[in-house]
Amino acid sequence: MDSDRSALFLFGEAMAYSYAAALRAAAVLRVADRMGDQPRGVADLAAEIGCAAAALRRVLRTLAARGIVAAEEPDSFRLLAAGSALRSDAPSSARAGVLMLTDDVFWRTSHAVGETIRTAAPAFESVFGCTLGEYFDAAPATEALFYEGMEVVSDAENRIIARACELPAAGTVADIGGRYGGFLRAVLEARPALRGVLFDTPEEVVKHRLHDAGLDGRTEIVAGNFLEDVPSADVYLLKRIIHNWDDEQSVRILGTCRRALRPGGRVLVIDALVPSVDGPHDSLAMDFLMLGAHPGGERTVAELEPLITRAGLRLCRVVPTATPLSIAVTEAG
């Protein structure tokens, strides 16, 4: 590729954020909710939303280039299957997740990464002048959006991952840092003979939604700090936990699980492991976004295994799933 072609390619790459921005605009305006199942004329749709038809047309054209909607004559657009989860009433609605992933928490910090990677501190503190926790304390609506978005992202993958987990026929599984309990619920529904423990900080675990899960007394809710201690269990589930922490804290979390692990038990580290070969993978985008808000990041197996070993565990195998996440199966070393 010569320099001119390279330049044109890079210009296109530099404008790729426009697709995410258009997707956010559609989510903010609830465009998918208003489109329904039939083609909608741009003029009527704009009048219903309360925006300029010409501007809305340009947003929809941008989304059509990504297969979210399709243009139809005369001057109409139709919501496609790939965009259906943008509807608020979709069984696995992605709207809150789209709003979360395109929020300033990620948007502004990602923009500043070129400056902030000169230091070891997350970009968030440099951009906003406070920690992520302090920011959420001052902006509860943003915190609610962030965690609602995280929940819908998790809901879309929980059942798939639960079916892929290597679990015993009976015993106790503990979901560490499980917050609302969505993943634990999926695991217990997939394995009717298991009992479950939902473990998180006192202020988070009270928000769980297992009261009406129909699990017939199979769950226990426990509050604590996974950096210090966790309840005894046969299997620990660490879904999207280790990637939030730096190496030393990750070893500490894994170590608390190792000390409380029952004989013959397992610790399942479930994260978006980065492939060892070049190529597109969702873990790469998330790894970049995490440069902004957390001291951790997505790891390769080669980066994760030494942390597992230092915690007194042994990596047995890595199980891929039909999601961006993989399951690192570990046992006592």
145 in any annotated domain: no
- Any domain includes 232: yes
- Max mean pLDDT range (85-89, 109-113, 131-135, 154-158): 85-89
> What is the pLDDT at residue 113?
81
77 and 164 share a domain? no
pLDDT (tens digit per residue) in 140-157: 988 888 888 888 888 889
* Residues 70, 196 within the same domain: no
- CATH number for the domain spanning 33: value is 1.10.10.10
Q: Residue 10: pLDDT above 90?
A: yes
**Same domain assignment for residues 178 and 72:** no
Q: Contact 319/166 with Cβ under 8 angstroms?
A: yes
pLDDT at 293: 66
Residues 187 and 61 in one domain: no
Does residue 136 lie within any of the structural domains? no
Residue 111 is among the residues annotated as catalytic for this protein: no
Same domain, 222 and 323: yes
Question: Is the same domain home to 79 and 165?
Answer: no
Confidence of residue 193 (pLDDT cuts 50, 70, 90): very high
Point out the catalytic residue in the list 208, 211, 243, 294: 243
Residue 153 pLDDT: 83
**Mean pLDDT rounded to a whole number for the chain:** 91
d(CA 253, CA 151): 22
Instruction: Give the residue numbers spanning the domain of 63.
Output: 3-87
Instruction: Let me know if residue 315 belongs to a domain.
Output: yes
Query: Quick one: 53 and 178 in the same domain?
Result: no
Of 66, 87, 108, which one is at a domain's C-terminal end?
87
Structural domain contains residue 75? yes
Check residue 131 and give its pLDDT: 83
Q: How many domains does the chain have?
A: 2
> Which of 87, 118, 133 is the last residue in one of the domains?
87
What is the reported pLDDT for 221? 93
- If asked whether residues 79 and 166 sit together in one domain, one would say no
Mean pLDDT of all residues in 184-190: 93
Assign 213 a pLDDT band (cuts: 50, 70, 90): low
CATH assignment at residue 206 = 3.40.50.150
Domain-located, residue 92: no
Are residue 170 and residue 302 in the same domain, yes or no? yes
Q: What was the pLDDT predicted at 86?
A: 95
From 49, 66, 87, the end of a domain falls on: 87
Q: Is residue 67 located within the same domain as residue 169?
A: no
**pLDDT grade for 310, boundaries at 50, 70 and 90:** very high
Same domain, 162 and 54: no
pLDDT, position 164: 94
CA angle 300, 310, 229 (to 5 degrees): 105
